[in-house]
Amino acid sequence: MQSSLYTGVSGLNANMSKLSVIGNNIANSNTVGFKSSRVIFDDILSQTLSGGSGTNQIGLGVKMSSVQKMFSQGAFETTSNSLDMAVSGNGFYIVKDPTLNTNYYTRAGQFQTDKDGYISSANGLRLQGYMANSAGNLQNTVQDLRLSTKTIAPNPTTNATLTANLDSNAPISGFVFTAGTNDNIRFSVNGGTTWLTASLVTNGGLASGSAYTGTATAAAIKSALEAANGNADTYNVVFDDQTGLFKITNNTGNLGTLAFDWTNPLSNASTLLGFNAASGPIIAGASTTSNVAAGDFFLAKAGDTSNFSTPVTVFDSLGNGHVTTLYFRKDSLGAVGNNWDWYAVVNGTDTTSGATEVQARGTVTFNTNGSLYSESGITYPTGGFNFTGGAAQNQMIAFDFGNSIVQGGTGTNGTTQYGTSSGVSMMSQDGYSSGNLQRISVDQDGKIGGIFSNGKDLTLGQVLLADFASPVGLSSAGKNLYNETFDSGQALIGSPGSSGRGLIQSSTLELSNVDLSQEFVDMITAQRGFQANSKIITTTDELLNELVNLKR
C-alpha cells in the first residue's frame, strides 16, 4: 500500500519538472535564437508479483528521463542592422570568450562591433570566421572577425576596357597644313630634272593651321599643281572619303608622268597625305590613275582630325582621377576591312610637362562584317602616362577595345564598326581613389563585404558555421550558448551553404521557436497530471487511516 504513496510522489515530481520546462519555454518565447525543450518521461518498474509473466508486473511510478532541445527553425524578423544574422537551416555561429579562450555555439545572431572593431555578441563574445587580406582574398585560418579596414589605399589604373561602335560611314577627313612646314609638294613632269614646288597654302589657297576636308584638300592640290606647272585645268584630283585615297588624272593627256620628291625637307605634305616612296610616281596619263593614302591626326586640331571621341577617367598612383580623351580617326581601307587609329590625349593641366599630349596610341582593324579583327600594340609617345601632382611617372595603361575577343575572330561582343552612329556601350577601368568604409553587407554565404566611399566593394571576411552530428547532445551554457559534448560530437566547421549547413540571412534575426499554444496545452496536461497524482496520495492516506482504525 505504501508503494502507491511513492508512485504518487514520483508523478508529482515528474509533472512538476515538466511545468518547470514549460515555464522556461514560455519565459523565453521572446528570446532571439532560443530553442524550446520538452520533457521525456520513463516509467519505473519495481516488482513482479509471481512467475515470469509480464502480466504480473507492478510499476513504481514515473521518472524524468531527459530534457530534449528542439532545434526546429524559428520565424524570421527583419531589422536595420546588417550584422543581425539568422541561420536558415542547420548550423551554429561560433563565438569565443577572449578571456577564457573558449569556444561556444549559438543560434542568436545579434552582433555588433566593439571598440576594437571585433564583431561581438552583446555579452562580449567574438564571432569566428575567416579574415580577408588587403586584396579581399579570404585566408584559411579560423579567427576573430575584426573590421579593422576603415580605409583602402588607391589603385592606379593599369587596364581600361571600352566597347563601342564606330560609324562605318564616317568620312576620312581633317587635313591641316602649316606654311613652311608641310604645305609644299615638289614634283617633276615627264621624268624631267627640273623640280617644281606646289604650295597648298600659297598656291592652293588653304589657310595655314586650319583643318580641311578631303574634298577641299583635293581642290587645293589641283590648284597648287596647275599653278606650279603653269597650266590651267590640267589635272582632276578626286578624294574618296571612305577609302582615304586621292585620284589624280590628266585632262589633256600630253603632260606625261608626274614624279614626286620624297626626300626634300619641304615635301612634308607627302607625310600628311600618306605619300610614300613605295607608291612610286603618280601617272598623269589620260586614262591611267594612281591612288595614295591620306590623312593623319593633328593634336592642335584634335576635334577636326578625328571622327569620334569619348572621355575616360583614369587614376594615378596617388588615387587622383584624370580625364583622358580617346580620339578615334578612320584611317584607311585595309586587307580585311577598315583601319581606325586611336589616340589617348591628356590635357596640359594634368600632364607633368604642362602641355597637352598624346600619351598612348594604337590601331584597331575591323572585318568586313563589322566585327573587330585585331588590335595593334600600344605605343607610348611620352614613355607612359605622366600625370601631375607627384604621382608615379611612365604609368602604363593598357586599352582593350575587343573585350577579350580573340584577334581575328568574328564575335560582336567587343567594339564594332556598323553603319550606325558612333557611341560607347560599355566602359570600365581597374583604378580607384582611396576610400573610407561607409557600410558593410553580409551575403548568404557569410561573406562580409565593405562598401567604401570611392564605390569600391571589398571582401573583409566570412562568417563560418559549426554543425554537429547530434545537436541535441549539446549542453546549455546559458545566455543562449551551447557547449560541445561527447554526445554531440565534434564541431564540423565550414562555410554557410556547404555540406548541409544553412545560409545566412543578413539584417534578420531568428526568433524563438516556442509555440505558445502548444505550451499552454502542455501546461494544462501537466497540471492535471499533478492534481491526479495528488489524489493518489490523499486516497492512499485515507486507506492507511482506515487500516490503523481496524484495531479499534
Helix (H) or strand (E) holding 488: none
411: confidence class by pLDDT, cuts 50, 70, 90: very low
Helix (H) or strand (E) holding 461: strand 457-463
Is 298 within a domain?
no
Note whether 145 and 166 are same-domain residues.
no
Note whether 316 and 397 are same-domain residues.
yes
Note whether 11 and 40 are same-domain residues.
yes
Q: Does 82 have pLDDT greater than 90?
A: yes
Is 409 within a domain?
yes
Mean pLDDT for all residues in the chain: 86
Is 301 within a domain?
no
CA distance 290 to 382: 37
Q: Does 23 have pLDDT greater than 50?
A: yes
Note whether 466 and 454 are same-domain residues.
yes
Is the pTM above the cut of 0.75?
no
Is 302 within a domain?
no
**DSSP labels, 384-443:** SB-BSSSPPSSB--EEESSTTPPTT----SS-B--SS--EEEEEEES-B--EEEEEEEE-
Is 482 within a domain?
yes
Note whether 322 and 415 are same-domain residues.
yes
Helix (H) or strand (E) holding 198: strand 196-199
Residue 173 DSSP one-character state: -
Note whether 217 and 141 are same-domain residues.
no
Q: Quick: pLDDT tens for 149-187.
A: 788 889 999 999 999 999 999 998 888 887 877 777 777
CA distance 339 to 327: 14
How many C-beta atoms surround the C-beta of residue 59 within 10 A? 13
Which single residue is written with the C-alpha cell 593651321? 209
**Which pLDDT score is estimated for 256?**
56
CA distance 372 to 270: 30
Note whether 86 and 148 are same-domain residues.
yes
Query: Are the C-beta atoms of 268 and 182 separated by less than 8 Å?
Result: yes
Q: Quick: pLDDT tens for 277-301.
A: 334 444 332 223 334 444 578 898 8
Note whether 390 and 539 are same-domain residues.
no
Domain count along the chain:
4
* Containing structural domain, residue 88: 76-153+437-510
Note whether 328 and 420 are same-domain residues.
yes
**Which pLDDT score is estimated for 455?**
85
* Long-range contacts, stretch 544-550, CB < 8 angstroms, 24+ apart: 544/1, 544/2, 547/1
Is 401 within a domain?
yes
Note whether 529 and 490 are same-domain residues.
no
**Which pLDDT score is estimated for 169?**
93
191: confidence class by pLDDT, cuts 50, 70, 90: low
Note whether 275 and 218 are same-domain residues.
yes
CA distance 303 to 298: 9
Residue 64 half-sphere exposure toward CB, CA atoms < 13 A: 17
Type of residue numbered 123: N
Domain edge (last residue) among 235, 269, 293: 293
Is 97 within a domain?
yes
Helix, strand or coil for residue 207? coil
Note whether 22 and 7 are same-domain residues.
yes
User: What Å distances lie between residue 377 and 127, 360, 362, 363, 498, CA to CA?
Assistant: 51, 10, 6, 8, 45
